[in-house]
Structure 1
Amino acid sequence: GGKLFLQSHGYWEVVQRTLNGSQFYTYSVCNVGEREQDNWLRTTFIQRRPAASRVFVELQFIVRDCNSFGDSSVTCKETFNLFTSESDADVGTTFRKGQFKKVATIAPDEITSKNELHINTETRVVENLSRKGFYLAFQDIGACVALLSARVYYKTCPATVKSLASFPETVAGGENQALREVSGVCMDNAISEELPRIYCTVDGEWVVPVGQCQCKSGYEEVKDACQECQAGFFKAAASGDKCEPCPANTQKLNSGALVCPCMDGFYRAPTDPPTGPCSGLPSAPRDLVATTTQLSTGKLLLSWQPPEDTGGRSDITYSIECQRCEGVVCQSCGEKIRYEPASTGLTDTKVSVSELDAHLNYTFTVEAHSGVSLFASQITSMRLVERTSTSLSLSWDVFPRPRVQSRPIRYELTYRKKVRRIYEADITVLAMLQERAHATSKFISCAAVGGAAMLFIVVMVLFLRRRKRNSHTRQGPEDTYFSSSEQLKPLKTYVDPHTYEDPNTAVLKFATEIHPSHITKQKVIGAGEFGEVYRGILKVPGRKEVAVAIKTLKPGYSEKQRQDFLSEASIMGQFSHQNIIRLEGVVTKFKHAMIVTEYMENGALDRYLRDHDGEFASFQLVGMLRGIAAGMKYLSDMSYVHRDLAARNILVNNTLECKVSDFGLSRVLEDDPEGTYTTSGGKIPIRWTAPEAIAYRKFTSASDVWSFGIVMWEVMAFGERPYWDMSNHEVMKAINEAFRLPAPMDCPSAVYQLMLQCWLQDRSKRPRFGDIVNLLDKLLRSPDSLKTIADFDPRVSIRLPSTSGSDGSPFRSVSEWLESIKMSQYSENFTCAGVVTMDQVLQMKNEDIKNIGVRLPGHLKRIAYSILGLKDQTSTLSVFAV
């Protein structure tokens, strides 16, 4: 910031003061006895960093109590004003009031009396700066003020590395750019499919990283950097995984290895992963024996023992070769001989041979095979050497050449005719290292089938995604029902208790004082922010005894905690509506402060719905929502913003009437054209809060409407947690990418369409609470309108995690599956009914579920939909496996 200087025609002056033994200078003015004061103090020119459109002004000052001036207190003020003026150049001592616009009225938290000095610190925001610099000015209109310091600063998101992407220091944006998108650069030896991005908030915090860098193959992440894999380790692809030790029977290369090749004499089968261990070849089968069973029919039994060395593999199979000899001439036995069960692909160590001719010599050879017996060297090139009308002569290169010389190399050539009038041949050569082994490859036909299946799946996924996106953007018939902002302008009748200099004054004005002897505590029913909550009885003389809830202030509180505790009563005391929790009174004049409200027998709405899952029809749930909306309409008509609307803050009585409660986070709307409240502190309930309130803490009745949409979802989902187990950052990222919660199970389409209207990104297009009440009334008057059910997809894994276990694999047990859908209480029912495997679960129908003791409609639906989801995923997986 710049240095302050004194304007010649004003009454501000430099005064030297002593505080705690130290001397310091202040700019002071104290003309409380004179009327119509207009004293100005202006800073020198403050240059602005181009990207800093939003700056903070922190002031330290002292204000004298007007009551200490006797008769002069009539004209005395206890506030002063902050102004700003932008300029592209320093204008020197030229000063014109008309160039300045007001930023804020500055009022002290603590006033200095004759006997006690209080230094106040206040921070204000100057928005939308665009020129090269600016001035600050302070206007006194009749106060006794001493200005100690003025600090001007802006906020930045510091340079950082996240997910191996480097992001530079970034100046935080302002109201018009609440989230400033910043692109990152991958660290050395890291790559990213999507450009890494992150957002800088107005408070100088990084949020919602999008995309990430991953160490490329041969490198792993070590302390925000990519480091080469050590010798004897490898990493085959770019990923977030660590380098792995080279598997068994592989060569341990130097650092930075992508794969570990097989050692001499060891191989990988075509189906083995290139990152897996290598295997040796099996030895020959042992103890081959031929036993004649029916000599007259030419039938015998061949049996043998497995090879002594399997090469470390379990996929051992056997094949039989036969030769018959007449004299010295031997030839293949051909197809005349029959083998039971087969001559190739045998897993058992015996085979029956029949149809043998008499008086001939037969030689049988049994060969052992494994996955690496078909070890295929790469045919790197193939050449036509010679061609005639009836023959082709071919040659090819092989790499790498097999090093085991004791076993012959055999090449198999296959061809197929193309479907044309002129015959052409596609020729494939497969080189096989074998123990006199033979096999046929069908790789080409399998790949064609698999490719067709994958193409089909991709087309279906794209179709479903487009259909889902269209369902979100499609407008329903209710859209034209919502009124515009010009039609509904609330009258401001609510008074913020924080504007009172003495908070006790607000409590006495809006709440009735109760004597502690009229209150009887019965039982602890919960814990609030400030202390325990009791159920009790209120018996005031002359009035009927009533059940009440009693909030208490825990011992050892500070005065500020006491004021914050009682401020909720100052807020509640101003409301009178059947859907707003009723304040009975407060205890403030005795040692233990208390807030007494009406007692709601069924407690918080979210817990109540979870305990009664499926027990209410849609008509009843919509009736509950109508009551909540009516309460919120009443609050919004008073220009009041709740800021923490959620099912946990709705209370339910024994007649199922819902009432809005918990005004701890609530604040009144400021009297400005936008009708907003902005603050730079405090916690925000992310899952219930509108995007604009998360981004720059701007709360309006429109942001309460967003929260009401989440409450609607909670109610229709019987207390399900919004966004399930997603983290807050994942929720923010999803909403930023236009994701909206899917329709709950059995939710009426009209109700879900209203939720989507509440979640519109543009807050001006969301319905008002008056519109919501009218629409819900319309639905309740026409129950048939609730019969059309919104689409529900049980395969949305985050909605109902019933398709696989926590690691993505199929459920290993019935109890694990039941736990994932929060139905563990039925584990014993399934066991007693003999349903102990997931295959048995998949065969169950609705009647079977009822018969094992699941009676509640909501629980029955949850289990049935989960089984449907399991079946859908099973069929989907079978398509992938083709």
Structure 2
Amino acid sequence: MDSKWATTELAWTTYPESGWEEVSGYDDSMNPIRTYQVCNVLEPNQNNWLRTDFIPRRGVLRVYVELKFSVRDCASIPNIPGSCKETFNLFYYESDGDMATASSPPWRENPYVKVDTIAPDESFSLLESGIVNTKVRSFGPLSKAGFYLAFQDLGACMSLISARVFFKKCSTTIASFAVFPETATGAEATSLVIAAGACVPNAVEVSVPLKLYCNGDGEWMVPVGSCTCMPGFEPAKKDTQCQACTPGSFKSKQGEGYCMPCPPHSLATSRAASVCPCKRGYYRADSDSPDSACTTVPSAPLNVISSVNETSVSLEWAEPRDSGGRADVVYNVVCKKCQHSGGFCVRCDDNVDVSPRRLGLAERQAAVRNLQAHTRYSFEIQAVNGVSAKSPSAPHYATVNITTNQAAPSAVPTVHLMRATASTLSLSWLPPEQPNGVILDYEIKYQERGESFSHTVTAQSSSARVEGLKAGKVYTVQVRARTVAGYGTYSNPVDFSTSLHDDPERSVQDQLPLIIGSALAGFVVIIAMVQHIKSCPLCKLSPGVKVYIDPFTYEDPNEAVHEFAREIDISCVKIEEVIGAGEFGEVCRGRLKQPGRKEVTVAIKTLKAGYTERQRRDFLAEASIMGQFDHPNVIHLEGVLTRSCPVLIVTEFMENGALDSFLRLNDGRFTVTQLVGMLRGVAAGMKYLSDMNYVHRDLAARNVLVNSNLVCKVSDFGLSRFLDDNSSDPTYTSSLGGKIPIRWTAPEAIAFRKFTSASDVWSYGIVMWEVMSFGERPYWDMSNQDVMNAVEQDYRLPPPMDCPAVLHQLMLECWVKERNARPRFAQIVSTLDKLLRNAASLKVLTSNTFPLLQRSVVVCFTSLNNSIRCIPILLDLYRVGGTLPGHQRKSLGGVQDMRQMSQTLPIRV
């Protein structure tokens, strides 16, 4: 409201009629104005009221009133009583509507609310022109639909020239790519009003809540939260808009960056591109960033050289002339067995061994063995890189053809009879003079004279005993040797007779020729093997120890999973119920019935719908890892279903689930011997994995499964490396670019990402603590940062309640800072076996004296909310009552030192 702009009479309500009077006049610019005057100074006891029309509030909480007025100096008026005033009062009255009348509300201070007594800065006399005063007052908070203003004169000679009612607001503004609407100020002059913002078009929130504060003066304060341009859009017009990238440019990430030209071999033909599609014949790998150049497949390898040694082949080749613009070129060796007549070739069977592996070779050489003798083979050396799987065409390859040259072993010399009984013949023979390789076994063929049917048995050495014969009969015997090239020629047939009756009194001297002959034959076999190894360089490539192969070295994940895991037909699997959720999807219980095998209960992991190719690869990688293991304390893989939807991994079913939750459900129900038996199982599984050079990285009780017989099996292989950085799981904390389970991880693995079997031993010590405490959370409710700080200061977990001293000592050995000084899993298994044999050693419990290595005590106290909390405190601080570190003061709710803690909180050590 502004009375200055009124074009007609204001006609405000007055009381009494002899009081305020509306007068029309002109201002200094000769514009007409409407004023109210009063000057009853000669009459005492004045109480003149003037009330405006109803003023709607319109949602405003606080309003401001600007008054322009003039007041005559009482001293300039002659013969006036002492009641002359030079001030007047300002009131307001709230109402839910325009309901005021000439008599209501009553003309008194209550129900009106007084705002202030208004006094002029300057008054005027008759000799001077009228001096206009301007005063601004505010009031609030307002809550009803509107209000009236009222002016009370108590005996002044004055003129109310104009009254303007207004409110303050913060105007619409754009800050941090967010629009904040026009916002009225708060109920008090010091109030801050929150205005919620909205991102400008083509922008997204990067932090919430998105808000801006409007202060009492109508000014915006510093914004909270912000928006940023989404992919495909860049800042424009002084960061108030997000405009689309032009064709030929792109922006892959949200943020304040600007559009960039498309990388080589790519082009964006439309606006607002977040990625530039590759040109025809060029591709990006799933792991490539959108701003990387598009690349193509490599050309074929060059200069393939083969070297045949009997039934083994050494292959070498040079790198391709064109790598396709990538540095991740690897090689596949495809073996094909061909007909001698030429033309038709088929893939080699699984008996052919390619070392170090068939797929994903980083080195440019390979050795092939277990080929058939005198057979033609064709080898394709494929060059593949990170985008070969994207190309519809087959990989480029170079071909080399070879023919093996090893002959089968020569005939076995004459067979000798060492002993005969009524039902057995004990035989011996010398190895062939020309074994032509390592003899795998011997085949003994025998038949009763006069019969047409023969029988065969096999022997691993150059002696054997044929059983189940008829007494007093003559048998014809022949023997032949077998190598990788096949069977050699049978020895000449020899006839031997069984006895009529068994003679239990035969002396050792009768058996002596058999013993000497067997020993001599074995010695000859050993010499032949040594000579063969010396002449066979390929034999030196395989020490006979199975070593874990990382599936991520394979270019095609399907090749890896099919090499190490068995494909199961979908008709053999029946899902019964969902029992949990994993990183990639649901975990179900089901039944597996395969032909010729008994139906069993299994666990089935499913890959969730809408998966990316990378998620499918990582999901199947677990099966590729599990399929390489065969140990009673490692979870067994039944097989995979990669041709179904969804993709499934089938493992043995563990009835009691995860070890940590199983122990919590059965707190105190198991004896120490039973718990040590569980720990022994975990250690045995980890020894097997360690022997295969596999590092688990995420060994914890949650990743150990328990069956109905309390057998513990290590599971969840390699999942820690698949965790996404946006994972909400608090167990895994980001550290140096990856997710790490801090409470279970060795210090060197946290600091330097150095994961070894020694770091798995550290994690095993934590698992021991979890088991002996029946699933207690390691380090209780300490933050991950506090855990790292405490371990760095040589703090180690104290023994759980009723924990045998020898077990806690073994834990401390697992937690030695120098990783090379920690025990190996073989030593741990041996130690636990000794403890299980000597149960008395498990009855000695830990005392209250802590090893020097700890240098700490764990103080448990009842916090203000009556919950029990435990934190480690350095032993010296505990003894002398010293000042606590900052993170511990925070944990204790501000307690500064041990003396204050002991005075304010009930504690126990």
Would you call these one fold, judging by a TM-score over 0.5?
A: no
* Structure exhibiting the larger radius of gyration computed from Cα positions: 2
Looking at secondary structure, tell me which structure has more helix per residue. 1
**What is the TM-score when the length of structure 2 is the normalising length?**
0.38
**What is the TM-score when the length of structure 1 is the normalising length?**
0.39
